[in-house]
Chain A
């Protein structure tokens, strides 16, 4: 096992910060920045958010505006030019965003700082300390999952709509005699709902099967890769899972000494939402790790 330290994670996040700083004119999409950090795009945004605290897109937007502010102070360049450099196509949109960040319009800001023209160049990349993990920290164990064969049905759309997909899967599988007490109920989350537009989030509702099942209609069969995973338990409503993901991927993983594997996270549902109050639900979240 190769050890990846918190310093490694810090260095990679810092590399992204430097890259963003030097490429504010360029497209700075998630995929590209994950590549800069050598992180899997599956997990990069959560690592970023857990370590930096600010979502990546907000960070990029803020830096672009701050650079525009510096240039308002230190140059005479037309405001529309600065707006375009900051990624805004109109003066109005730029003014609105600028006012939200600095409490004044760009021209007011320039007037207020009229005496500071001499001060020179754009600021460099500031130092960066990872956000401290929440207390109490998450209880995480490393577990080797066996490779699982599952029957599944895919849901595309917001997570809160996946109940209907589960209902269809379980009705079919139950009537086929595929569900017993040893059946495990697994959610495979292909997208980060903070990144992918809600309408496009892909989620596979899966049940374990112990022998060959023939795919039928919307119900397919696939293999869930085994191997080392970080496991933590989420207690409470499914709607609050996002916070457990940020704590696991963004706060635990950078301090774990482990590298993340570019595969989707898994959720295992340990009790049934049909017979359990939302606050009593228990969900194990599995984050795939490199061996």
Chain B
């Protein structure tokens, strides 16, 4: 990569973001994310303001660096972890009790003070208070089952069962949080064609 080429983590870590419709075992290295936590159903008001805040901070941090001549990088796709207080089977609880962490993968050189500055600017510019909840999170998932789910989000449980069966056949069990990577934009793509990578750490 030449010195002035734009850093694209999505392309650089292509193997983390490659999945087929049949489950496979992958080894995922430690990765850094901008993240925001919340509770409640996907598409609800808290969820929407959370995504807005996450993108706002991601974009503002990137452009502040670029404006200052400190290099450029591509903003990665949206990812999320989902769970509930009593465990990981979301089908057992109402959506209002779902907990989520929305994440955008971010280069290691981004530092917490940059987030604070970005959040201050966004609050000044009336972009909502949720930006102050965005923080930097490092996640080490290690060995995972990964699969490409094609179709509506509310049919994911079928694919997750296939992942679980695949893991069990190999003497492995789920642990850690369910993780998804949104390859499609649900505002543009019809539900039956949505592509989402599902990932689950196993041991």
Binding site for B on A (CB under 8 A): 170-182, 210-211, 270-271, 274-275, 282
Contact = CB atoms under 8 A, between A and B. Distances in A.
Contact of B63 (A173, A180, A211, A282): A173
Contact of A171 (B67, B126, B185): B67
Contacts of A175: 60, 63-64, 66-68
Contact of B188 (A178, A274, A282): A282
27 contacts: A170-B63, A171-B66, A171-B67, A172-B67, A174-B60, A174-B62, A174-B64, A174-B66, A175-B64, A175-B67, A177-B60, A177-B121, A177-B122, A177-B125, A177-B127, A179-B63, A180-B55, A180-B59, A181-B51, A182-B52, A210-B126, A211-B125, A270-B188, A271-B185, A271-B188, A274-B75, A275-B10
Interface of B: 10, 51-52, 55-56, 59-60, 62-64, 66-68, 74-75, 77, 118, 121-122, 124-128, 185, 187-188
Contacts of B121: 176-177
Given A171-B66, A174-B60, A275-B74, A181 B52 contact: yes
Residue among A176, A177, A275 with max Cβ neighbours from chain B (10 Å):
A177
B52 A174 contact: no
B67 A180 contact: no
Contacts of B75: 274-275
Nearest to B67: A175
Contacts of B128: 180
A274 B72 CA distance: 12
Contact of B56 (A172, A181, A270, A271): A181
Residue among A176, A210, A271, A282 with max Cβ neighbours from chain B (10 Å):
A176
Contacts of A180: 52, 55-56, 59, 122, 127-128
Contacts of B188: 270-271, 282
Contacts of B124: 177
Contacts of B122: 177, 180
Given A177-B127, A270-B188, A274-B74, 8 more contacts: A174-B62, A174-B67, A177-B125, A180-B52, A180-B122, A181-B52, A270-B187, A275-B74
